Amino acid sequence: KGTTREQRALKYLKEHARQGDPDSVLETFDEFCRTQEWAMNAAEEKGDILDEIVRELQPTTCLELGTYCGYSAVRIARNLSPSARLITIEVNPDYAAVAREVVKLAGLQDKIEVINLDSADVIRELKTKYDVTKLDLVFLDHWKYLYIRDIKLIEEEKLLKKGSVVFADNVIIPGAPGYLEYIRGSKNYKSTFYSVHFEYMDDMKDGVEKSVYIGDE
């Protein structure tokens, strides 16, 4: 075929979604995943919970680990206030390239910055290079073994404040080994588990974990 699934998804979005309309981009991406090819978007029930968190928290500075094609970046950014922004990190260059196009298609390039680097390297430079003081929302949706590495790094960098929310996808499938016991065992977080359907699969269950930081600044 010569094209990747991600490139085929982008082509479909360009042909079927309304330029500058985030809702249309998300609806069209969901349609693609339900009718053409499955893709690992934090969609449907997962997306609904993410929407709820963003609407309630009204975060100013958001960090997403694992952009993929930008579905959840658009989902988060469409609900952000005018001055708020999202930094999203994707280590795979092909995914990052598609994500930048999807963000542009949604008209959200002024709110979303896609960074094609390793998450740990960026987290270490958020304060000095990316002008971040604190993170109000962190969305963990990259490779599962990195959740625990990166949350410890985020704590080390003192990037969280009372009320910051850490939202983790896939804590059941594929699972995030070590992360759940770490975050649930930590006195610095109040965690809630949500049992949800796996994206675009009505007969499969996954789980997401919402953790509110209550530790010292």
Ligand X SMILES: Oc1cc(-c2ccc(F)cc2)cc2cncnc12
Q: Interface residues with ligand X (CB under 6 A)? A: 40, 66, 141-142, 169-170, 173-174, 199
Comparison of 120 and 173: residue with beta carbon closer to ligand X: 173
Q: Which two tokens stand for residue 142?
A: 């990259």
Q: Of the candidates 6, 136, 141, 209, which one interacts with Mg ion according to CB under 5 A?
A: 141
Answer yes or no: 94 catalytic.
no
Query: CA torsion angle for 29, 33, 37, 39 (degrees, to 10)?
Result: 90
Q: How far is the C-alpha of 55 from the C-alpha of 210, rounded, in Å?
A: 14
Partner that binds at residue 120, options ligand X, Mg ion, none, CB closer than 5 to 8 Å by kind: none
Residue closest to 45 by CA, chosen among 163, 214, 204? 204
Considering the complex, state which of residue 4 and residue 81 has its C-beta at the smaller distance from ligand X. Answer: 4
Under a CB-based contact definition with an 8 Å cutoff, are residues 167 and 208 in contact? yes
Residue 162 phi, psi (nearest 5):
-50, 125
Q: CB of residue 39 vs ligand X: minimum separation in angstroms?
A: 9
Active site residue 141: yes
Q: Does 169 bind Mg ion (CB under 5 A)?
A: yes
Active site residue 169: yes
Q: Which is the catalytic residue, given 30, 44, 64, 144?
A: 144
Peptide bond into 93 cis (omega under 30): no
Residues at the interface with Mg ion (CB under 5 A): 141, 169-170
Catalytically active residues are 141, 144, 169-170, 199
